[in-house]
Chain A
């Protein structure tokens, strides 16, 4: 007799916990062949609100970690993912219907991306900040600081896409509320499990699954969100209205744009959500 598989209940990831949607709603996700794969939690505006609260709460602590420590944790995420290779590959195949080889390529790139950004944590400040040679007797120095809480509409690529948008944000000390790929949300939850076991403090990354068009406007208009990354928004009209909504508290907005995720990233995913702080002090005796 074959053993009956124990199936996983897919939930949201908020504040380090895995709650169901407060709304009690779920939505069906099918595999590449159209067969039922799982019921996923369908996040509501209140889940989004809770996620923002969690992200805000985690913000000072995460921004205050030493960059070295953040780098260690990002690297740890890569380690944990590495240990779950088979699961990720299976999920990618199942969700997207890609070949093993292709799934492996994307997974490798995703894991390596964590390593890439892990290394950036304690270098970005030197690259984008520094001394400013002012024409007066002042110490004048600029350093980057995280913008705060960033809302993210993740792109469809279930793992590489998600990692490519989340890793640069948390590498620089931001915390985030991410709406996972609407089409392929399952691997995102597995990634959340990796984050939760990689010493990443609860609330630094909050992951919602559900309908982009339903949740994203609440995040765009949320006055306690400092920036929004619209990478995963495919409908130009939705992108426009989200950007418009974001203007209310002058969120930093990253517009959707085509990019090759397999390429080595530029710095802009980090710098887009960094603030430059310039400190002056007189030099005297």
Chain B
């Protein structure tokens, strides 16, 4: 039978008391029918966002971007360039908003922080043995603390998918809870790597697990595994944060990451946020795009709307 979660019956301490109680809770969440969820997304995808609505959506999408570089070849120079781009996405247009954050590996947090200064653009660091999540717990926590000490405002951790798929939910819970503690004042985003969880049922369970463990944000993917973010996966996560809010009064953010490349896609995500969670979530505090190439695509669309002619990649910076 489905667990109906109300304000009056959700007792996180009780639910997470033992492996079996946690399992019972997660497996009692309502199932997700794949075809139905995908059909819902397809219908929302037919929303036609034009003129003023499109202008609003494009600017909002820019403000929600976590501009990301997570390569083995990253250098201070690369990160400085990215940080500048984050603050001034379109140098030719002062009305263009800045992005939400720059997302880097922990060792480059200090560089990013220094460049961004008091711009308001946040620094996010991936941690906990990103992207595989395969390391001892103390190493993961040290990874996290290093990033926070270097000035990271946000930590994007990965969960141990192996533990999750083996049904060791409590250990995943503990991992998230301890990482949250290690974050101190930094906000915690929890990456599920939904491409490895495979089913929407798993995505819903992971969402609740992470929210109960104290996640500020839940995030689809590392960007290193295909498929990365998809609309239906994000739908399921949005439904989870909506239901969590209904049950606890707390808002949790959602971040699809990887594979979102066009402004048209970005707008589809925003429509979904609007119609599933409502307009309170239409804010960089509660929704982010983890992306690298998306930004320029949005900028081109934005310019097209302003000038009435199509633009080209030469007119946008390549950082």
Do chains A and B make direct contact within the complex (CB under 8 angstroms)? yes
Interface size bucket, A side? Answer: under 10
Encode B33-45 as 1/0 by CB contact (under 8 A) with A: 1111010000000
State the CA gap A70–B164 with chains docked (Å).
Answer: 51
State the CA gap A282–B38 with chains docked (Å).
Answer: 11
Interface residue A284 (Cβ < 8 Å from any Cβ of B): yes
CB contacts (< 8 Å) of A283 on chain B: these are 35
State the CA gap A69–B98 with chains docked (Å).
Answer: 75
Q: How far is the CB of A141 from chain B (nearest CB, A)?
A: 16
Contact yes or no, B35 A285, CB < 8 A: no
CB contacts (< 8 Å) of A285 on chain B: these are 34, 198-199
Question: How many residues of chain B have a CB within 8 Å of chain A?
Answer: 7
State the CA gap A285–B200 with chains docked (Å).
Answer: 8
Most buried by A among B34, B36, B198, B199: B34
Interface residue A138 (Cβ < 8 Å from any Cβ of B): yes
List which A118-145 residues lie within 8 A (CB) of chain B: 136-138
Contact yes or no, B199 A282, CB < 8 A: no
List which B184-208 residues lie within 8 A (CB) of chain A: 198-199
CB contacts (< 8 Å) of B36 on chain A: these are 282
Chain B residue with the shortest CB-CB distance to A136: B35
State the CA gap A181–B154 with chains docked (Å).
Answer: 89
CB contacts (< 8 Å) of A284 on chain B: these are 33-35, 38
List which B37-66 residues lie within 8 A (CB) of chain A: 38
CB contacts (< 8 Å) of B198 on chain A: these are 285
State the CA gap A134–B81 with chains docked (Å).
Answer: 52
State the CA gap A120–B138 with chains docked (Å).
Answer: 71
Chain B residue with the shortest CB-CB distance to A282: B35
Chain A residue with the shortest CB-CB distance to B201: A285
State the CA gap A284–B33 with chains docked (Å).
Answer: 7
CB contacts (< 8 Å) of A136 on chain B: these are 35
Chain B residue with the shortest CB-CB distance to A281: B35
Encode A241-285 as 1/0 by CB contact (under 8 A) with B: 000000000000000000000000000000000000000001111
Q: How far is the CB of A140 from chain B (nearest CB, A)?
A: 12
Contact yes or no, B35 A138, CB < 8 A: yes
CB contacts (< 8 Å) of B38 on chain A: these are 284
Chain B residue with the shortest CB-CB distance to A284: B34
State the CA gap A138–B35 with chains docked (Å).
Answer: 8
Contact yes or no, A137 B35, CB < 8 A: yes
State the CA gap A285–B232 with chains docked (Å).
Answer: 13
Q: How far is the CB of B206 from chain A (nearest CB, A)?
A: 16
Chain A residue with the shortest CB-CB distance to B202: A285
CB contacts (< 8 Å) of A137 on chain B: these are 35
List which B143-192 residues lie within 8 A (CB) of chain A: none
Q: How far is the CB of A45 from chain B (nearest CB, A)?
A: 51
Most buried by A among B33, B35, B38, B199: B35
State the CA gap A282–B198 with chains docked (Å).
Answer: 17
List which A139-173 residues lie within 8 A (CB) of chain B: none
Give me the interface of A with B, judged by CB distance under 8 Å.
Answer: 136-138, 282-285
List, sorted by A's number, 13 A–B pairs whose CB atoms are closer than 8 Å.
A136-B35, A137-B35, A282-B33, A282-B34, A282-B36, A283-B35, A284-B33, A284-B34, A284-B35, A284-B38, A285-B34, A285-B198, A285-B199
Question: Given contacts A138-B35, A283-B35, A284-B33, could you give 12 more A-B pairs where the C-beta distance is less than 8 Å?
Answer: A136-B35, A137-B35, A282-B33, A282-B34, A282-B35, A282-B36, A284-B34, A284-B35, A284-B38, A285-B34, A285-B198, A285-B199
- List the 3 shortest-distance A-B pairs measured between CB atoms, nearest first: A284-B34, A282-B35, A284-B35
